[in-house]
Structure 1
Amino acid sequence: MVDKSPRPDPNVQQHSVVESDYVHHTELPTTRPSLAVDKAVRGIGFAFSFLWLGVLGVILVAVIGRYAFGSGSVMAEEIEWHLAGAAWLVGLSYTLVSDDHVRVDVLHERLSVKKQAWIELFGLLFLLLPFAAIGLYLGWPYFYSSWMQGEVSQAPAGLPYRWAIKVFLPLSFALLIVAVLSRLMKCTALLFGWPKPAGPDPIVRATNVGALERDDQTG
């Protein structure tokens, strides 16, 4: 029996069926204010990402000290979660401007870009922005009270200056609000033409192109 199914055109770039698993970024247009905000937030997030190396180093020291020399360290354990907490909290805004947060909506990726932008607009305005504002509103007095009282660790041989980790609560929510405003400008640029679009988002475009290139190499 002769196979009469159409053959792929060798001149057309082919992608595997799992391409959509990698390309999940909504390619919204960027704006001049968004470019500046995204660059600043990504720079801060990248700098704080090195704290994870510190977390690994402290864990190694604590494990070696406990099992090789039989001496644990409360201070090392607290340094570990201080560094991890700061890196994770600051990473929230970095993830948003990079559009690398986890999406669980199976319908979202099947919609047009304009419909995706409407979903982003309502989600940012009525869900994420109020959440971040409440976090900033409650996080600031939480930090300020700790700072004014000179709060220290309740554990023996723990760290002083407990406010040093609590300051990252209001800081992270403030950065998240800035990131939300940047994302909102991209949505309004697509839907309403304001602020004036400044071309495709270079961060998302580079990520999507890189994902397709990796997909081609593995597919």
Structure 2
Amino acid sequence: MTVSDQGSPQNPRASIDDPDEFLHHHTELPTTRLSQWIDGLLTAIGKGASWAWVIVTGFIIYAVVGRYAFGHGSVLLEELEWHFAGAGWLLGMAYTLVVDDHVRVDVLHERFSLRTQGWVELFGLLVLLLPFLGLAIYEMVPYAINAYNVGETSQAPAGLSNRWVLKAVLALAFMLIAMAAVSRLLKVTALLFGLPRPIRVQSDNAKKEDVS
């Protein structure tokens, strides 16, 4: 698939010869001071959560060696594996929205002008994403609190206690995604209405030119 060469930051219908790049094309939105701060926080959390996969890998290696080399299995270790895997995945979801690297399969969206893309983003955030996240947080917070109050533990013998921790991570993940959605909403309103006031961010290419 090839889009005609009409490219500029204001015109997203640039020449994109790679189909994968076309599907993952980013909408160039302005940045505001608050959205920049939120994005920085969520980026730090997302990168920190990526270390959970290193921990999971260590658990898996330890479990495999223990089971097949020494004949000792551990239900506790197996549950730790999927708990850490779940936490790493959940806490990293907001980061994908910050960098706009979630999968978009919408060939029409990429052919729109930047302002039209902004209106589509505004509708999606206000009508679809934020209401869903609000409902999810409303349901997930009591879900975690109830698990804490009843002292919920694993149903498996010798399994994990404090199951409320993972459920609290689930609620926290939706809160972080909501923060990422608010950050993106601020960028969209800055594009469409000039509010909040957008700030100029030096591009990577400009930084390289300054260094050279």
TM-score between both structures, scaled by the size of structure 2 = 0.84
Could you tell me how far apart the structure 2 residues matched to 1:121 and 1:183 are?
9
Moved more, 124-133 or 59-68: 59-68
Question: What letter matches 2:146 in structure 1?
Answer: S
After TM superposition, the structure 1 = structure 2 runs for residues 1-219 of structure 1, keeping only pairs within 5 Å, are 17-18=17-18, 21=21, 24-199=25-200
For residues 36 and 20 of structure 2, what CA distance do their matches in structure 1 show?
26
Matched residue type, 1:28: L
Structure (1 or 2) with the larger CA radius of gyration = 1
Structure 2 stretches lacking a partner, 5+ long: 1-14, 206-212
State the shift of 1:193 in Å: 0.6
The alpha carbon displacement at 1:67 in A equals 2.5
Q: Which amino acid aligns with 2:183?
A: S
Aligned residue number for residue 9 of structure 2: none
Q: How far apart in 2 are the matches of 1:20 and 1:63?
A: 37
Larger relative contact order (CA 8 Å, sep ≥ 6): 1
Residue 45 of structure 1 aligns with an amino acid whose one-letter code is G
The answer (yes or no) to whether the contact 1:135–1:169 under 8 Å persists in 2 is no
| Paired AA for residue 17 in structure 2 | V
- In structure 2, do the counterparts of structure 1 residues 124 and 16 end up closer, same or farther at CA, with 3 Å as the change threshold? closer
Letter of the structure 1 residue corresponding to residue 53 of structure 2: W
Report the CA distance between 1:49 and its aligned residue.
1.1
Deviation per residue, 1:99-118 (Å, 9 max, x gap): 11111112111211111111
Q: Tell me, in whole angstroms, the C-alpha distance in 1 between the residues paired with 2:110 and 2:64.
A: 44
Deviation at 1:160, TM superposition (A): 1.0
1:108–1:116 Cα contact (<8 Å) kept: yes
Distance 2:25 2:61 in 1: 36
Whole-Å Cα distance in 2 between the matches of residues 48 and 159 of structure 1?
A: 21
Larger deviation, residues 119-128 vs 17-26: 17-26
Flag the 1:145–1:199 CA change in 2: closer, same or farther, 3 A: same
Change in CA separation of 1:122 and 1:86 when aligned onto 2, cut-off 3 Å:
same
Could you tell me how far apart the structure 1 residues matched to 2:142 and 2:158 are? 26
Q: Tell me the secondary structure at the aligned position of residue 71 of structure 1.
A: coil
Opposite residue 84 of structure 1, the aligned amino acid is: A
Aligned residue type for 2:59: V
Cα 1:88–1:189, aligned 2, differ >3 Å: closer, same or farther? same
Q: For residue 39 of structure 1, report the CA deviation from its aligned partner.
A: 0.5
RMSD: 1.9
Give distance in 1, aligned partners of 2:172 and 2:96: 15
Counterpart of 2:62, as a letter, is V
Deviation at 1:163, TM superposition (A): 0.8
Deviation (angstroms), 1:68: 2.5
So what's the TM-score if we normalise by structure 1?
Answer: 0.81
Alignment-mate amino acid for residue 168 of structure 1: V
